[in-house]
Amino acid sequence: MRYKRMPIEVESPEQMGYDTIRNNLSESSYTDALLNEFAEGADLGRLLLCYASHEGHEGLRHLIVKDAANLKPADVLLTIGAAGALFIIATSLLEKDDELIVVRPNYATNIETPRAIGATMRFIDLQFENNWALDIDQVKSAITPKTRYISVTHPHNPTGACLEETQLKQLAGIAETHNLYVLVDETYRDMVFGPQLPLAAEYSPRMISVSSLSKTYGLPGLRTGWIICRDRSLYSTFLAAKEQMHICGPIIDEELAWRFLLHRDRHFPRIAADIQAKFEQVKHWMQQQGDWEWVEPRGGCVGFPRLKAPQTVDIDRFYKSLLADYGTYVGPGHWFAMPRHYIRLGFGWPTRQQLAEGLNALTAAVKASRR
């Protein structure tokens, strides 16, 4: 494995120090939760710190699939975040020179781990002009006998584009016809603005769902994610990979994650309403400014705007001024292997006041960086 640190991690707010940023518009999660908000009364002192179930907390796995007609807790493997799930899947399915079809732009791990393995990637480049929509015909034409899996994200990071149900069905059909797998990274699924699609794993044993509690619920510090997969043999390989890395998951995180999901209905309406209000704030700002354009996200709490006239702006000066003069941070395009005049704008994490200040800062920093 040829590991290389990814810019999105090297330059992440937690690595810079959260206190170095006033208006943090770079996050892809909802505001981080306080343990007290949901764990009151949890008597962790009575929790036995033994090795946990290798598959993961039974009650938590039950809650993850409770609304899915044809999925059961045994199809769920808990992982260290969705990041851990993606690593397990890539290292289980790919060997050097195997092929993978993967959308771009993308959350860096979906590309970086296959690269570290030495796999060959066939990219599906999503286009702003096409509303960042996935073109299934393009996916089909990228398949070769060496393709091991197709990697898509719904809702997509960094654009907030969503798949349609017909596309999920088409992907399931492709997987079965060509004897390959489809990884659907559903880390942002609970933040879809419209009606929810079924979990991808419901469509076929060849569809693999990945998610976590990090994004919608602001719980990235719990490091609790999962894989859902109905293919028993593949599940067993995933479990072997997990056991070789860390035997089981952290028992405290899984206990807390279970307690949170037990009372999801108590937390979710407040979170969804706050994301919606912040989304309205960004839409309003978008309408009254002239520098940026975007495709409105259909889920998640990020969008991927770009400068309308990048040639008129000194982009390095813009990023510098944004942080140094206005205390504001966004995800630069290069985090997603895209030109730097694209930015990932995270609107779920900051307070409404910070979001308002951050949006004004974008306007001011562009003005200050005109050529």
Ligand X SMILES: Cc1ncc(COP(=O)(O)O)c(C=O)c1O
Q: Which stretches of the chain bind ligand X, using CB under 6 A?
A: 28, 81-83, 107, 153, 157, 185, 187, 212, 214, 220, 225
Residue 363 CB contacts under 8 Å (≥ 6 apart), including other chains: 289, 291
Instruction: Report in angstroms how near the CB of residue 46 gets to ligand X at its nearest.
Output: 28
Of the candidates 343, 271, 340, the residue with the CA atom closest to the CA atom of residue 305: 343
Residue written as tokens 């393995």?
A: 117
Beta bridge partner(s), residue 208? 183
Instruction: Report in angstroms how near the CB of residue 353 gets to ligand X at its nearest.
Output: 24
Nearer to ligand X, 203 or 226 (CB): 226
SS3 248: coil
Is residue 90 a contact partner of residue 117, using CB atoms and an 8 Å limit? yes
Instruction: Report in angstroms how near the CB of residue 152 gets to ligand X at its nearest.
Output: 10
Of the candidates 79, 306, 57, 331, the residue with the CA atom closest to the CA atom of residue 185: 79
Q: Bin 288: left if φ > 0, else alpha if -120 < ψ < 50, else beta.
A: alpha
Instruction: Report in angstroms how near the CB of residue 249 gets to ligand X at its nearest.
Output: 13
Nearer to ligand X, 191 or 361 (CB): 191
Q: Would you mind telling me the total number of residues written for the chain in this entry?
A: 371
| DSSP state string for 55-114 | S--HHHHHHHTTT-TT--GGGEEEEEHHHHHHHHHHHHH--TT-EEEEEES--THHHHHH
SS3 339: coil
Say how far apart CA 271 and CA 224 lie, in whole Å. 19
